[in-house]
Structure 1
Amino acid sequence: MNNPTVLKLDESGNNRPTQARIRIRVPKKYHREAVLSQLVLHHGLEVNILSAILGGNGEGDGWFDLQLFGTSQQIDDALIELTERDIQILDSVGTNQDGW
């Protein structure tokens, strides 16, 4: 069964540099965890926060618009991890750009 959140950014090779833009909702239960830093550490991605909405005083969920840079395999693996942690991926667009 195919995972719908896996972008399959680069069918010709998993080591080619690429980027993807995603929008995610991080549940309140992860407020004290470094979710974005874990994407960098676990998957070797570069993460650019384009915008974010966070509740004051740790209330509510966090909403992030992110640009991810890495190989297509790294990005796919990161999306799988987010999904497994019940972090909702609201929108994802692969750009397939070499040489970022």
Structure 2
Amino acid sequence: MSNPYRDKRWTRKRDAILRRDSYECRNCRRYGKHTLASTVHHVYFLKDYPKMWLVNDNLISLCNDCHNKMHNRTNDEATELAIYWQLKQAPHLKKYF
């Protein structure tokens, strides 16, 4: 898979996830805030879990600020916030581990 984000399947899935989440950031919603989501995030990072590329339970809508908080841009590792979401979603993704 050269660039999965250019694949039509990703474009369709991304649109479906944004609709599922009512175009709201799921992380902001935890705090009662209603922020427009602009990104669909892989809870378990695509580079580590390519089989979960298009799995609904591995995808959440986020605003740009929250998406940046998921990634340590220095070492490309998951942040504490990203690990929170991984633990939250893990029960729904057992069959992929």
TM-score interval w.r.t. the shorter chain? under 0.3
Q: Which has the higher contact order (CA 8 A, sep 6+)?
A: 1
Structure with a larger share of its residues in helix: 2
Taking structure 1 as the reference length, the TM-score comes to 0.24
Taking structure 2 as the reference length, the TM-score comes to 0.25
Determine which structure has more spread, i.e. the larger CA radius of gyration: 1
